[in-house]
Chains A and B, each alone.
Chain A
Amino acid sequence: MKITTSRTPIKEVVKDASMLKQKEMMAAHYDRLANAKENGEKVASTFVPGNLNELIMCFDLVNNLPEVNAIQSGLRRKSGSYVMEAEKAGHSEDVCTYVKSDIGMMAKGNIGPNGKKLPDPDVLLLSYTGCFTFMKWFELLREQYQCETIFLQTPYMADGKVTPNMIQYMVKQLKEDVIPKLERVSGVKFDIDRLREYLRKSARAEDDLVYILQSAKNKPSPIDAYFGGIYYVGPIFGAFRGTDDAIDFYRFLREEVDQRIAAGLGPVTPDGPMADEKYRLVVEGPPNYTNFRQFWKMFYEEGAVVVASSYSKVGGTYDFGFRHDPDRPLETLAEYCLGVYTNRSLPMRVDMLTNYMNEYEADGLLINSIKSCNSFSAGQLLIMREVEKRTGKPAAFIETDLVDPRYFSAANVKNRLESYFQMVEQKRSGSGKGVAA
Chain B
Amino acid sequence: MSTPSTTEIVARCEALFEDLNFTAAREWKDAEPGRKVIGYMPVYIPREIIHAAGMLPLGVLGGGDQLEVIHGDAYYQSYICRIPRSTIELGVSGRLDFVDGMLFPSICDVIRNLSGMWKMMFPDIYSKYFDVPQTYEDEVGGRFYENEMAEFRHDLEGIAGRKVTDQDLHNSIAAYNENRRFVRDLYALRAQKPWQVPAAEAYLVIRAGMVLPVEEHTKLIGEYLAAAEIEDRPMRDNCRVILTGMFCEQPPLNLIKSLELSGCYVVDDDLMLITRWLTEDVPTKGDPLHNLSQAFLHHSESTAAKYQPDLQEKGQHLVRAVRRTGAEGVIFASPSFCDPALLDRPMLQNVLKVAGIPYIAFKYAENSGQMQPIREQAGTFTDSIKLWSAA
Residues of A participating in the B interface, judged by any CB pair closer than 8 Å = 89-92, 94-96, 99, 131-133, 135-137, 139-140, 142-143, 146, 149, 151, 153, 155-156, 158-159, 165-166, 168-169, 172-173, 176-177, 345-350, 369, 371-372, 374-375, 377-382, 386, 399
A176 to B136, CA, bound (A): 12
Q: Is the CB of B112 within 8 A of A156?
A: yes
Residue B148 at the A interface, CB < 8 A? yes
B305: chain A residues within 8 A (beta carbon): 132
Q: Judge whether B140 and A176 touch: CB under 8 Å.
A: yes
CA distance A151 to B136 in the complex (A): 11
CB <8 Å contact, A172 and B336: no
Residue of B nearest to A86 (CB): B346
A347 in contact with B116 (CB, 8 Å): yes
Interface string of B302-330 (1 = CB under 8 A from A): 00110111010010000000000000000
Q: Is the CB of A133 within 8 A of B76?
A: no
Chain B 134-160, CB within 8 Å of chain A: the 1/0 string? 110101110110011001000000000
Can you list 6 pairs linking A and B with CB atoms under 8 Å apart? A94-B339, A131-B109, A136-B304, A151-B134, A346-B115, A382-B120
By secondary structure, the B interface counts as helix
Please tell me if the beta carbons of A378 and B347 are within 8 angstroms of each other in the complex: no
Q: In the bound complex, do residue A94 and residue B77 qualify as a contact, i.e. CB atoms below 8 Å apart?
A: no
Q: A169 to B129, Cβ gap below 8 A? A: no
Interface positions of B from 327 to 357, Cβ below 8 Å from A: 334, 336-340, 342-347, 349-350
Tell me which residues across on chain B come within 8 A of A133, comparing CB atoms. Answer: 109, 339, 343
Chain B hits for A94, CB < 8 A: 79, 336-339, 342, 363
Residues of A within 8 Å of B114, CB to CB, are: 378-379
Which of B112, B305, B349, B363: most chain A Cβ within 10 A? B112
Contacts of A348 in B (CB 8 A): 116
Indicate if B74 sits at the interface (CB-CB under 8 A): yes
- Give, as a whole number of angstroms, the nearest-CB distance from A115 to chain B: 29
Residue-wise, chain B 74-116 has the 8 Å CB interface mask toward A (1 for contact) of 1111011000100000000000000000000011111011111
> Separation in Å of the A11 CB from the closest CB of chain B?
36
Which of B75, B108, B140 has most chain A Cβ within 10 Å? B140
Q: Which residue of A89, A131, A136 contacts B344 across the interface (Cβ within 8 Å)?
A: A136
Partner of B80, one of A91, A151, A374: A374
By the criterion CB–CB under 8 Å, are B135 and A346 in contact? no
**B84 and A378 contact, CB distance less than 8 A:** yes
Give bound CA distance, A318 to B380, whole Å.
Answer: 56
| Distance between Cα atoms of A346 and B127 in the complex (Å) | 13
* Interface residue from A137, A151, A159 paired with B135 (Cβ < 8 Å): A151
Q: Which one of B74, B121, B311, B334 contacts A146 once the chains associate, using CB atoms below 8 Å?
A: B311
Asked if A173 and B119 make an inter-chain contact with CB atoms under 8 angstroms apart, the answer reads: no
B339–A135 CB distance below 8 A? no
> How many B residues touch the partner, as a band?
35 or more
Determine which of B77, B116, B129, B151 lies in contact with A377 in the assembled complex, contact meaning CB atoms within 8 Å. Answer: B77
Q: What is the minimal beta-carbon distance from A154 to any residue of chain B, in angstroms?
A: 10
B131 touches A155 (CB 8 A): yes
**Cβ A99 vs Cβ B148 within 8 A:** no
Binding site for A on B (CB under 8 A): 74-77, 79-80, 84, 106-110, 112-117, 119-121, 128-129, 131, 133-135, 137, 139-141, 143-144, 147-148, 151, 304-305, 307-309, 311, 314, 334, 336-340, 342-347, 349-350, 363
For residue A171, give the distance in angstroms from its CB to the closest CB of chain B. 10
- 9 nearest interchain CB pairs? A346-B116, A158-B129, A136-B343, A169-B144, A92-B342, A379-B113, A345-B116, A375-B109, A374-B109
| Complex alpha-carbon distance, A276 and B219, angstroms | 74
Smallest CB gap from B337: residue in A: A94
Say whether B110 contacts A99, CB under 8 Å: no
Q: Which residues of A contact B144 (CB under 8 A)?
A: 155, 165-166, 168-169
Inter-chain CA distance A345–B114, complex, in Å, is 9
Is A132 in contact with B137, judged by CB distance below 8 angstroms?
no
In the complex, what's the smallest C-beta–C-beta distance from B305 to chain A, in angstroms? 7
Partner of B119, one of A135, A169, A347: A347
Residues in chain B near residue A377, CB distance under 8 A = 77, 79-80
Kindly list 12 other residue pairs between chains A and B, CB separation below 8 angstroms, not including A89-B346, A153-B141. A90-B346, A94-B337, A94-B342, A136-B340, A169-B144, A172-B139, A176-B137, A177-B137, A371-B77, A374-B109, A381-B76, A399-B77
Residues of B within 8 A of A136 (CB): 304, 339-340, 343-344
Nearest B residue to A136 via CB reads: B343
Report the minimum CB–CB distance from B351 to chain A (whole Å): 9
Decide yes or no: A345 and B342 within 8 Å by CB, A132-B305, A151-B135, A381-B76 being known contacts. no
A137-B131 Cα distance, complex, nearest whole Å = 20
Complex Cα distance, B115 from A91, in Å, reads 28
A135 and B80: CB pair below 8 A? Answer: no
CA distance A89 to B140 in the complex (A): 37
The chain B residue sitting closest to A399, CB to CB, is: B77
**A92 interface neighbour in B76, B107, B108, B345, Cβ under 8 Å:** B345
Which residue of the partner chain A has the closest CB to B80? A378
Known A155-B144, A381-B76; judge A99-B343 contact (CB<8 A): yes
Expressed in whole angstroms, the minimum distance between the Cβ of A321 and any Cβ of chain B is: 22
**Contact status B120-A378, CB under 8 Å:** no
Q: How far is the CB of A178 from chain B (nearest CB, A)?
A: 10
Q: Judging by beta carbons under 8 Å apart, are A137 and B117 in contact?
A: no
On chain A, the residues within 8 Å of B342 by CB distance are 91-92, 94-95
Give the contacting residue for B307; candidates A139, A156, A166; CB below 8 A: A139
Q: Are A153 and B135 in contact (CB under 8 A)?
A: yes
A372 and B79 form a contact (CB under 8 A): yes
A165 with B84: in contact, given A139-B307, A177-B140 (CB under 8 Å)? no
Q: A140: which of B79, B139, B141, B346 is its contact (CB, 8 Å)?
A: B346
